[in-house]
Structure 1
Amino acid sequence: MTIHVIKPGLLSSFQDTGRHGFQHWGVPVSGVMDEAAHELCNLLVGNPRSFTTLEMTLQGPTLQFQAKALIALAGADLGATLNGEPFKPGTAQIVAANSTLSFGKRLHGARSYLAVAGGFLLPEVMDSTSTNTRGGFGGLRGRALQAGDLIPICSSFANPPRLAKTYEPSSASHDEDQPIRVMKGREWALFSEQSQQDFLNGTYTLSGDSDRMGYRLTGQALTLSAPCELLSESVAFGTVQVPPSGQPLILMADRQTTGGYPRIAQVASVDLPRLAQMLPGDALRFSLIDLHAAQKLFIERARTVKAMEAFNA
């Protein structure tokens, strides 16, 4: 059973929860940008949360299903239609053979996720199917989708499928007006007091050269109290570095494994999905929280995911 790619979209690639355990060899983690949306669409079709999804950016593909399947969308609303009928994110539908999923005008967000019940049949590379386009491995031939691709799916209707309910997450968790919550980075104290205040009180804009590797921001330049030399150390999803230009850089899913720029902050994991749905030109602000508060938010999000599972039980 396969899905035929008629149009590939702007950037459509297969991602899972990441390629962990190989960073000491210089292999990036990669994985989904918006883990919350990834989890939701998997749960809607009854998949484990770790199953691979198709991450579609800004302009979605046109896909023809060559066999019956149960599918779900989550994340950004990229104007999806199924056989010409609206298909909203946060919903699951059974599609008949020869059905066409297409995308039109983007309504909000940057990245949408597609899950298929049973999952996509993709080979694992270092325990993950995530696509690393720079390295040319993972996913479907190590690249984004191309017209004419055939995507194998592992879906069976030997038993009648359970059609999952629609699930609408709380809109409060996606409030675009709220600042991105961060904790102090390892080199926070090395920045001048004025730069610390500028970082927390100013507004930054996502620049046009941002991608899955990192978000470049423009705004008030940040400076150190005194020059310093740092050894390259490991970095994480959401690490906020400050290169010599003084303009902050947020490391994202395809980040490198180490970095030598001073780290002014670390984005709380609960707010990474919000970052993933931002577009170049969007403005963002930061607010400071401590580790305990970040952990509490992480636990609350885990409980929300459990509620999703119960909702579709």
Structure 2
Amino acid sequence: MIEILSVTGPASIQDLGRFDQYRFGVGTSGAMDDVALRAGNILLGNDENAAAVEIPIMPFRLRFDRNIAFALTGAAVEAEIAGRAIPPWWRSYARAGDILNIKAMSHGARSYLAVGGGIDVPMVLGSRSTQFRGEFGGLHGRPLQVGDILPCATSTAAIGEFGIEPAGITLARPNAAADESIVRVIVAGEYDAFEATAQELFWSSSWTITPQSNRYGYRLQGPAVKPKAPVEKRSHGIVPGVIQIPPNGQPIIQMRDAQTSGGYPKIATVIGADLWRVGQARLGGKLRFEQTAYTDALAAEDDMSAYLDRLRTNMRLVEEAGTCR
């Protein structure tokens, strides 16, 4: 088990999400950075959907009550256990009684703590993910608190006391400025409801992520992007990644805890392969949108799959090498 000793922000238990309940009006939830979650579980020999702790704000401290392997992925963090430094994107080993102290986050917005076997909270509607709005899943459907005890499943993987760093994967796109993240998007249903000048404003602007942003949606600030005429639509299905334009002209990117329907006009949608980039963009940071064709979006998914395949292969080779010693 894991005991939470200190927590600063809304840390929560998340897996890859619940995707078979959308037709009932239940959103996906799940890790804001699904790549980091998968990578952490691959490092530990877990099922890639095993639940982990999503940590958006530091510091964060916990105590392990038994010997267990763990990995920190996602944001670059400064962390130590039993007085020794733990690099991010490595798998490490804790002994019973060890305290893990995650002190600071130098890059990115969310760190993921995966443990051998995964966090063993009950499945609710096919997922262990916390759904804040509905107050279910995770641990009592709420953010983690000091004193919480998290049960951990037993892992059958043979994990040594060493770490391995996966291939680099960064927030930056090749043409991004140092202080912004570029995310690729495809145009959405109401794109043509906007004049060419408004469309160009959407593409050329650098958008600030406001403090009102959270797991439900990222609210952006910049020049107002207005349609040719007011668009009044009945609420209809939306998914994480959809970018809506409310009457004030300031875009909203729907994120993992987004509702399943909405009526604001949709100007674009973040491609699946880049949604994790948005999840790792900080409050006050900058986003810029890059128009992408559907075929390029599929190619980006292939690139992401290839990255994860390389990580799986590397871990398999490490395990095989360990059994030969």
The answer to whether the 8 A contact 1:58-1:78 is kept is no
Cα distance in 2, alignment partners of residues 92 and 174 from structure 1: 24
Q: In structure 2, list runs of 5 or more residues that go unmatched.
A: 317-325
Cα distance in 1, alignment partners of residues 158 and 139 from structure 2: 29
SS at match of 2:11: strand
Question: Pairwise mapping of residues 1-313 of structure 1 onto structure 2 (< 5 A)?
Answer: 2-156=1-155, 160-162=158-160, 165-171=163-169, 174-175=172-173, 177=177, 179-313=182-316
Cα distance in 2, alignment partners of residues 172 and 134 from structure 1: 31
Using the TM superposition, give the Cα deviation of residue 164 of structure 1 relative to its aligned residue in structure 2, in angstroms: 6.7
Using the TM superposition, give the Cα deviation of residue 54 of structure 1 relative to its aligned residue in structure 2, in angstroms: 0.7
SS at match of 1:78: strand
Root-mean-square deviation (CA, aligned residues, Å) is 1.6
The answer to whether the 8 A contact 1:240-1:250 is kept is yes
What is the letter of the counterpart of residue 293 of structure 2? D
Question: For the structure 1 residues 60 and 30, does the alpha-carbon distance in structure 2 shift closer, same or farther, using more than 3 Å as the test?
Answer: farther
Using the TM superposition, give the Cα deviation of residue 100 of structure 1 relative to its aligned residue in structure 2, in angstroms: 0.6
Q: In structure 1, list runs of 5 or more residues that go unmatched.
A: none
The answer to whether the 8 A contact 2:13-2:128 is kept is yes
> Deviation per CA, 1:207-263, whole angstroms, max 9, x where unpaired?
111000000000011111123321211111110000001100000000000010000
What is the letter of the counterpart of residue 312 of structure 2? E
Using the TM superposition, give the Cα deviation of residue 173 of structure 1 relative to its aligned residue in structure 2, in angstroms: 5.5
Cα distance in 1, alignment partners of residues 24 and 273 from structure 2: 28
Cα distance in 1, alignment partners of residues 158 and 7 from structure 2: 31
The answer to whether the 8 A contact 1:58-1:111 is kept is yes
Using the TM superposition, give the Cα deviation of residue 154 of structure 1 relative to its aligned residue in structure 2, in angstroms: 1.3
What is the letter of the counterpart of residue 288 of structure 1? Q
Question: For the structure 1 residues 256 and 228, does the alpha-carbon distance in structure 2 shift closer, same or farther, using more than 3 Å as the test?
Answer: same
Cα distance in 1, alignment partners of residues 233 and 294 from structure 2: 24
The answer to whether the 8 A contact 2:44-2:159 is kept is no
Using the TM superposition, give the Cα deviation of residue 61 of structure 1 relative to its aligned residue in structure 2, in angstroms: 2.0
What is the letter of the counterpart of residue 12 of structure 2? S
SS at match of 2:203: helix
Cα distance in 2, alignment partners of residues 225 and 12 from structure 1: 41
The answer to whether the 8 A contact 2:72-2:112 is kept is yes
Cα distance in 1, alignment partners of residues 187 and 116 from structure 2: 41
> Deviation per CA, 1:154-198, whole angstroms, max 9, x where unpaired?
1257x8535675123324554463521110011101111111000
The answer to whether the 8 A contact 1:129-1:138 is kept is yes
Cα distance in 1, alignment partners of residues 307 and 76 from structure 2: 21
Cα distance in 1, alignment partners of residues 80 and 219 from structure 2: 33
Cα distance in 2, alignment partners of residues 79 and 134 from structure 1: 31
The answer to whether the 8 A contact 2:131-2:257 is kept is yes
SS at match of 1:43: helix
Cα distance in 1, alignment partners of residues 127 and 207 from structure 2: 34
SS at match of 1:113: strand
Name the TM-score, length of structure 2 as normaliser: 0.92
Cα distance in 2, alignment partners of residues 294 and 156 from structure 1: 36
